[in-house]
Amino acid sequence: MIADTGTDTRRRIYGRRRGRKLRAGRRALMDTLLPRVRIVLPPTGTVDPRALVPDATDVWLEIGFGAGEHLAAQARAHPDVALLGAEVFENGIAKLLAAIDRDRLANVRLFVDDARLLLACLPDRCLGRAFILFPDPWPKERHKKRRIVAAETLDQLARILRPGAELRLATDDADYADWIAAALAAYPAFIALSRAEGAWPDRPADWPATRYEEKAVAAGRTPRFFRLARRR
């Protein structure tokens, strides 16, 4: 699938966009609620994240929010923070919309396309925190170039995170964990906040679990958690 922003910038999205057919209630939310919380990129220029939720005291971003459990939990715990989420999988988007509707989460905004398009449109030093949790590991050697944790993404995150802002990552794939650790160790813009070369074997208390983590643990895989700060 090619995402076209109306400029020469194009992205190829790999993986599924849809799973099982949505139930009627969630399909209705896609038609009614999504347009109200959707982030639409301008033809040129940047997106002002503060304008998306005008009363917010800070802005956080989750790249690839999956089914939205973590994003919704952070939105409930921090009603004064604008939570931006990027995801392309329709069923996950619909599940998060159901949580937004049920819990009346007024501080969530969604981008339903390649997250890199949103990153490119955000202004410098606008985020207080960013999350990339359990992204697709693309384990085959020929597919590793598709991994979201790469120099291009880190460059954009270094640009849009404020000095001192936190970057959190997680994976249950051992090879991807080593890939992340190596990428971050070689990237001077971020400093590890946690032990074991940036990786924790357990989540910090303020880091809500996701169903992907639960599935990994049930399957006998060990998640690794990374906490880093943008250098001042």
106/89: higher pLDDT:
106
% of the chain exceeding 90 in pLDDT: 71
pLDDT for residue 201: 64
pLDDT for residue 18: 59
Average pLDDT over residues 47-53: 95
The full DSSP string for 211-226 is HHHHHHHHTT---EEE
State which H helix or E strand residue 81 sits in: strand 81-86
Q: Is 135 helix (H, G, I), strand (E, B) or coil?
A: coil
Average pLDDT over residues 55-74: 96
- Taking the C-alpha atoms of residue 148 and residue 91, their distance in angstroms, rounded to an integer, is 20
Using CB atoms within 10 Å of the CB of residue 42, give its burial: 0 to 12 exposed, 13 to 18 middle, 19+ buried.
exposed
Strands (E), 112-201: 127-133, 161-171, 190-192, 199-200
What average pLDDT does the structure give for the chain? 88
- pLDDT 10s digits, 127-175: 999 999 999 998 898 999 989 999 999 999 999 999 999 999 999 999 9
Does the pLDDT of residue 82 top 60, yes or no?
A: yes
Yes or no: say if 211 and 182 are a contact pair by the CB < 8 Å rule: no
Question: If one looks up domain 14-230 in CATH, what number appears?
Answer: 3.40.50.150
Report the DSSP pairing between strands 161-171 and 108-111: unpaired
pLDDT for residue 104: 98
- Taking the C-alpha atoms of residue 63 and residue 57, their distance in angstroms, rounded to an integer, is 20
Yes or no: say if 55 and 77 are a contact pair by the CB < 8 Å rule: no
Provide the b/e sequence for 97-111 (b: ≥16 CB within 10 Å): bbbbbeeebebbbbb
- Taking the C-alpha atoms of residue 49 and residue 82, their distance in angstroms, rounded to an integer, is 8
How confident is residue 219, by pLDDT bands cut at 50, 70 and 90? very high
Is 55 catalytic? The answer is: no
What are residue 193's phi and psi, to 5 degrees? -105, -5
- pLDDT 10s digits, 7-44: 334 455 555 555 578 888 889 999 999 999 999 999 99
- Taking the C-alpha atoms of residue 175 and residue 163, their distance in angstroms, rounded to an integer, is 29
Residue of 136, 155, 173, 178 with catalytic role:
136
Average pLDDT over residues 89-99: 95
- Taking the C-alpha atoms of residue 146 and residue 142, their distance in angstroms, rounded to an integer, is 9
Yes or no: say if 72 and 104 are a contact pair by the CB < 8 Å rule: no
Tokens, residue 10: 């194009």
- pLDDT 10s digits, 178-204: 999 999 888 999 998 865 555 666 788
Average pLDDT over residues 52-63: 97
pLDDT for residue 174: 93
